[in-house]
Amino acid sequence: MLSAPAVLTRLLVFGALGAFIGLVYLALPVGLGNLFSSGPNTALSVAATTVVALGFARVRSTAERVAQRVVYGERSTPYEVLTELSDRMAGAYPATDVLPHMAQILVLGSGAATARVWLRVGDELVPAAAWPEASEVVPPARLAGNELPPLPGAHHGLAVRHLGELIGAITVTQLPGSPLSPADLRLLDDFAAQAGLALRNVRLTAELANSLDAISAQATEIRASRRRIVDAQDAERRRVERDIHDGAQQYLVALMVQLRVVRTLARRDAARAHGMAGDLHRVVGEALETLGDLAQGIHPPLLTARGLGAALRRQESNPVVRVSVDDQGLGRYPIEVEAAVYFACMEALNNAAKHASGSNVVVRLGEDEGHLAFSVRDDGSGFDPEECRPGSGLGNMVDRVAALGGALEITSAPSRGTLVSGRVPLFARDGSVA
């Protein structure tokens, strides 16, 4: 269906052609025929037909130009179009306004009915702006290499390149029954040749905005992670202080009291003092065991001495869940990497013991493409991640792994158990060991 401007344009052209034909026949066969003879004059009719045939194309072309000027307004010259494009690129226009203005000045400066500007995003050409604005949704076009693919809804399409790279395209549709002239096609070529820098700037601006959004999101997450780390450190200090006060400190206080008693009894009752010395030996052993358990919670000596696999295999004697550790081919790694993986696995084991009592838990460790990969899978009751809010333990796991550039993922479903998996890079960007 023709648009209202197209119908009006055709009416004006047909009206002008009808008026031209009518004037020619009125002037020659009718006017001159009545002037020189009283009857029909075949020669004048032939002359009128010849004039109409010779002048039809010129009159039609002139009528189309005038009709388009009346319907669509005054058109710019090609020089004015390219000058306005240069002004748009040099001016301080918002990136969201540049592309619609490009399409507009292209339509106003050529015989096109509509114009659309496409922008390259990854491996696709995405419609970014059109003039006049269209309501229909135009799908992106998939790219194959650096060549321009067929673009939907266009009579003419031109690639826009910058330094040889395809960064966009310009498509136009022509008026019904009015193909673009050679001058208009040359204008499209010149326009596309100069539009590369404008599209490049728009794409860079969009990429910069996306990067800023990503950086802002990362900064927000870093601030939240730092708060969680500080809170976790404070909570850990309070736990250590409480464990020392309630555990080892009580043994040491009892030891000091009994030492005073033994020293007093040593002069009076050596046998009794000897028996109390045995009790003191037991108290010292319990204090050492308490301190050892406390040290395991802070940083297990076995992790430093024998590595990640040996430290986690201690959990195979866990009385709450059945743990098996698969660490075949595992070597030694920087202590910060081993510590991050160890405490992440321990948190997962503690969660399994707390929420999946009696289940089987499998811990797997190994290298994978420059990363230390780990997973902790249990066959417990599982949970729905969308309904359960993550606790502080999960936050600590994520923060520990993310601090070394790694990633952690938790997969679970009701009656299907839980899988905690993660990867920590072993090498820094300069190629050195992390």
Which of 16, 42, 72 corresponds to the end of one domain?
72
- Structural domain containing residue 313: 301-425
Give the pLDDT confidence of 373-384 residue by residue, as tens digits: 999 999 988 888
433 is a domain residue:
no
Identify the CA nearest to 128 among candidates 89, 167, 174. 167
d(CA 97, CA 202): 10
- List, in sequence order, every beta strand (DSSP E) within 45-132: 112-121, 124-131
Per residue in 259-282, pLDDT (tens digit) is 777 777 777 777 777 777 777 777
Task: Tell me if 310 is assigned to some domain.
Answer: yes
Residue 200 inside a domain? The answer is no
Closest of 40, 61, 62, 42 to residue 50, by C-alpha: 42
**Is 216 a domain residue?**
no
Would the pTM of this model clear 0.85, i.e. be above it?
no
Same domain, 395 and 306: yes
Is residue 242 located within the same domain as residue 259?
A: yes
Contacts of residue 308, Cβ cutoff 8 Å, sequence gap at least 6: 327, 330, 333, 338, 341, 342, 365
Question: 56, 72, 88: which is the final residue of a domain?
Answer: 72
pLDDT band at 362 (very low <50, low <70, confident <90, very high): very high
**In this structure, are strands 322-326 and 360-368 parallel, antiparallel, or unpaired?**
parallel
- DSSP conformation class of 324: E
For residues 53-65, give the mean pLDDT: 77
Say how many Å lie between the first and final Cα of the chain, rounded: 67
Which residue, among 351, 352, 311, has the nearest Cα to 330 in the 3D structure? 311
Task: Judge whether 102 lies within some domain.
Answer: yes
Is the pLDDT score of 96 beyond 80?
A: no
Same domain, 310 and 414: yes
Looking at 54-63, 148-157, 342-351, which range is the least confident one?
A: 54-63
Residues 254 and 355 occupy one common structural domain: no
Q: Are strands 418-425 and 407-412 parallel, antiparallel or unpaired?
A: antiparallel
Q: Specify the range with the lowest mean pLDDT, choosing from 4-13, 101-110, 339-348, 404-413.
A: 4-13
Q: Residue 235 above 90 pLDDT?
A: no
Task: Identify the domain boundary among 72, 100, 128.
Answer: 72
Same domain, 168 and 102: yes
107 and 117 Cβ atoms separated by less than 8 Å: no
- Dump strand ranges (E) for 96-214: 112-121, 124-131, 141-142, 156-162, 165-174
* Same domain flag for 282 and 308: no
Same domain, 138 and 88: yes
Domain count, the chain: 4
C-beta separation of 308 from 342 below 8 A: yes
Q: Calculate mean pLDDT across residues 46-50.
A: 74
